């Protein structure tokens, strides 16, 4: 079972889209292992977006992610990273397919609603930034046998 980090970003929280976004992941079949509403500090943002340091958009990215609360959650399932990213859609909402979160609800690349880990190693690193081991729950749903082979 693979895990991935999802961040429902400030624009989605401000627009009241938390429930809609969670619904899409749950409808897809991904199972939640942890979730919390947080205010991202500048220090945490710098750790999370460290790979972008020095790029022209870095400062605005930090300002954006720290501008309002976010919902961070851990989703799990077979191929959770790829499935979550497919559900989210292309980084640029204008290029995102209809039916994806960004394709249906997004307008601008700088306000693209959701972050999803881009690989299992990235997911492991990101999960450790946002969740302590005791905050994640191992459980099974009665419906898992109808979702996972």
CA 12 to chain centre: 11
d(C-alpha 13, C-alpha 75), whole Å? 18
Residue 68 CB-half CA count within 13 A: 11
Full DSSP string of 17-62: -HHHHHHHHHHHT-EEEEEEEE---HHHHHHHTGGGTTSTTHHHHH
- The catalytically annotated residue of 115, 116, 130, 131 is 115
Asked about 48 being catalytic, the answer comes back as: no
For 24, residues 6+ apart whose C-beta sits below 8 A from its C-beta are: 87, 101
Burial class from Cβ neighbours inside 10 Å (0-12, 13-18, 19+) for residue 67 reads middle
Residues with catalytic function: 115
């Amino acid at each position: 079972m693979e895990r991935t980090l999802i961040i429902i970003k400030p624009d989605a929280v401000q627009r009241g889209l938390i429930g809609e976004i969670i619904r899409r992941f749950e409808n897809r079949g991904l199972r939640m292992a942890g979730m919390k509403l947080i205010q991202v500090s500048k220090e945490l943002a710098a750790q999370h977006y460290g790979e972008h340091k020095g790029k022209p958009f870095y400062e605005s990215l930090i300002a954006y992610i720290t501008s309002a609360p976010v919902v961070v959650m851990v989703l799990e399932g077979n191929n959770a990273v790829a499935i979550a990213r497919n559900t989210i859609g292309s980084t640029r909402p204008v290029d995102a397919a209809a039916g994806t979160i960004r394709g249906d609800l997004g307008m601008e690349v700088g306000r693209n609603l959701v972050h999803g880990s881009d690989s299992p190693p990235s997911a492991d690193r990101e999960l450790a930034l946002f969740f302590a081991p005791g905050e994640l729950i191992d459980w099974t749903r009665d419906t898992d046998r109808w979702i996972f082979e």
